A and B are shown apart, each in its own frame.
Chain A
Amino acid sequence: MPEEFQPRIVAFFCNWCTYLAADLAGTSRIKYAPNAEVVRVMCSGRIDVQFVLKAFAQGADGVLIGGCHPGDCHYQEGNYKALRRYRLLQRLIRQMGIEEERLRLEWISAAEGDRVRVVINEMVEALQRLGPLHKNGQAQERLMEVA
């Protein structure tokens, strides 16, 4: 049987909620797919549109953004800024011919260790259905232009 496609996901997690949730998942020994690799930022508000495009350009099949629940941001409202940029990005990548499922924003609090498992596993499944991004020539060109 053929080797199943293993998507690569770059995950930007905020330091105070989602990164801690991932830690909790660890201490609770919750098992999930090994396809997502985390870049820690202090706040989801730090996540630059360029980071996401760069990740796609560098060969990521999906990008996950994790922040605090609305109203819970450690820096009061950074996550709202993240939400705005996420919406912008969704439009942007659609125009570039990249499926929206490849970019996901999730509010995951420090208490929601299992949510990390659910989200990452879901995303891996979705990406396995979509297949590798580099197969998508048009998107590649566009990415090269912007990133």
Chain B
Amino acid sequence: MPDRNPVRIGVYTCHCGTNIAATVDVKALAEFAAALPGVVVSREYKYMCSDPGQDLIRHDIRDHDLNRIVVASCSPHLHEHTFRTALKVGGLNPYYFHMVNIREQASWVHENKAQATRKAKDLVRAAVCRVALHEPLERGRVAIHPDVLVLGGGIAGIHAALTLANAGKHVYLVEKEPTIGGHMAKFDKTFPTLDCAACILTPKMSAVRSHPNITLLTYSEVTKVDGYVGNYKITVLRHPRYIDEDLCAGCLECLEACVYKQAKVPDEFNMGLGKRKPIYIPFPQAVPQVPVIDPETCIQFKSGKCKKTCIEACGERHAINLQAEATTQEIEVGTVILATGFRAFDAARAPGYGYGRYPNVYAALEVERMVNASGPTAGEVILRDGRRPQAVGIIHCVGSRDENTNRWCSRVCCMYSLKLAHLIKEHTGAEVFNFYIDIRTPGKGFEEFYQKLLTERVHFIRGRVAEVTDWVFDPSEDGKLVIRVEDTLAGFVRRIPVDMVVLATGLEPRADAPEVRRLFNISCASEGFFLERHPKLAPVNTFTDGVFLAGCCQGPKDIPDTVAQAGAAAAEALALIDAGYVETEPNTARVIEEICCGCKTCNSMCPYHAISFVGEIHKSRINEVLCKGCGTCVAACPSGAIRQNLFEDDQIYAEIEGILTHA
């Protein structure tokens, strides 16, 4: 209900250091505001968001008995909450407040001080007109379902899931592939410590499997998301594995028994360098320890004429069911952590480097598998023809820092290239050449690792490779791959013959990122990675409450950063869960029954089915719990019978007038 006391407005202009003050004449702005109708106090201060700044507001509320507050500073997305809390502490209803964005929308985007100040004045005038019409509002509360969905079973998802599970929360860990482990499971060693990836990852993987609080759904995808923070309904599609996870003991005798005596299908986990059977387990430490049948290559699925030796081998357990079909499962959670990871840049998109044209040009992940003791070559670094390379060239920034492909720096390539350089030299004793634009080692122990490589006599040539070719300019190059590059430090162009070329491909968003983004109603940054709520202050939050980000789906990062972020995301989720409820914004819509003519126009407008038609009184009614406050129905109502808190028509009219009244 509107309060009767005369409006007494306080206007506070923030300098934001010089961020605002440099381009907007804050003094003039404050004086201008002081003269506006209803304004009792108008001040400018260096940092309104700081404690002294907020105290200023509180004291004025007390001393000048203000009942409306306007702060002209930064974006409401940054500090609206801060100031509303200040009002609350000052004993005023937090919704007697309006924020004016004179930083992102004035001082930072305009150069002419006069014009920027003029615009700031208009905006402040608009806010003053608007706030006068504000009414006190109360936030609603929604209980939070304690279970959590973690999407993606790489190191990020695994770590987040374990953190939550150890805190006693139930976690659904959904993974697209038949096993968890993600990219990290493919690595041999990790930089800069060179400790073995498997040794630090597999214990966590088995912990996931055995944890009572974790429901592991591998080979599965989320296909539908309903609800909102606190109460999400998630539909999960489970692809058929053709082997029952509960019945299978993981003896793997079915693999032995397969009619294919020799593995002949290119093995995805080994980047096609190795072979697998139609019935297979991605890698020995896979979790769950349950094989999967690939219907594309299994004879039974292709021709229906197979001895089904696998089923025989399984015997009494009857774990194998070739009739199995995809199933869907509904789960209810309160919060979601997205840890969907990245996709490695496709080296074929850098045509000058001959990937796919010259057999001995490899992408980094292929070499990762090669140097891995349990990889397709048992740790041997060899060429396609089995020879050992005598000289290897590692080309940095493939698909990164390039207007023709991806603009961004992928952050990990420098370090993994150094790691591969070290491992290749160690395994083969070959001469190793690194071709780089800049070496970026901003991390604990990174620079030291670089130094170590330099002393190991690995060559570092500063120059972006122009091309990899088999063109023989000099007899010494016969049968080699030649790397042509300007050695920008030596100052001349060089041709360097090598046996093997490794392309340090960058990281890019997964192909399915846009779908995931839409499912969970979050945003992507221009390059396609998921967008965090604030680059510094809310790096794991999204603009959708209750949905958090972990790992490379938010942007390229290395393992330690990924794990740290996963922990942070888990903590954010826990904070919500343990609070037990979330406060909802009061900007919901309501029907003024006296005016409603029962035309039902609004009923179809609401995507949340919050509007129902009450037959007996022949009027529509809005369920405030379901209403998300978009205001679409308000704009649609022909008789103006629907009103929206905080976005009342007259408030917006006042704002428009305020903007357009010439000073």
Contacts and interface: CB of A to CB of B under 8 A. Distances in A.
Would A and B touch once assembled, by the CB under 8 A criterion? yes
Contacts of A40: 76
A49 B635 CA distance: 8
Given A77-B607, A81-B605, A45 B632 contact: yes
Given A20-B543, A58-B660, A110-B531, A45 B108 contact: no
Interface string B178-190: 0000000000000
A122 interface: no
A3 B628 CA distance: 47
A37 B122 CA distance: 8
Q: Which 9 A-B pairs have the closest CB atoms?
A: A26-B104, A46-B631, A45-B632, A75-B630, A43-B630, A76-B607, A26-B108, A58-B660, A111-B526
Given A27-B108, A34-B110, A51-B656, A78 B630 contact: yes
A117 B111 CA distance: 13
Nearest to A110: B523
Given A25-B109, A41-B652, A112-B526, 11 more contacts: A22-B105, A23-B75, A27-B108, A34-B112, A42-B629, A46-B632, A46-B634, A51-B653, A76-B607, A109-B523, A111-B523
Among B103, B525, B636: residue with most chain A CB under 10 A: B636
Interface in A11-51: 16-17, 19-20, 22-23, 25-27, 29-32, 34, 37-43, 45-51
A97 interface: no
B656 A10 contact: yes
Contacts of B103: 26
B106 interface: yes
11 contacts: A22-B105, A39-B126, A39-B652, A42-B630, A48-B652, A58-B656, A72-B518, A72-B523, A74-B630, A110-B543, A112-B526
Interface of B: 75-77, 101, 103-106, 108-112, 115-116, 118-119, 122-123, 126, 518, 521, 523-526, 531, 543-544, 587, 605, 607, 628-632, 634-636, 644, 647, 649, 652-653, 655-657, 659-662
Nearest to A81: B632
Interface of A: 8, 10, 16-17, 19-20, 22-23, 25-27, 29-32, 34, 37-43, 45-51, 54-55, 58-60, 71-72, 74-78, 81, 85, 109-112, 117
A71 B628 CA distance: 17
Contacts of B109: 25-26, 29-32, 34, 117
Contact of B119 (A19, A27, A34, A111): A34
B108 A29 contact: yes
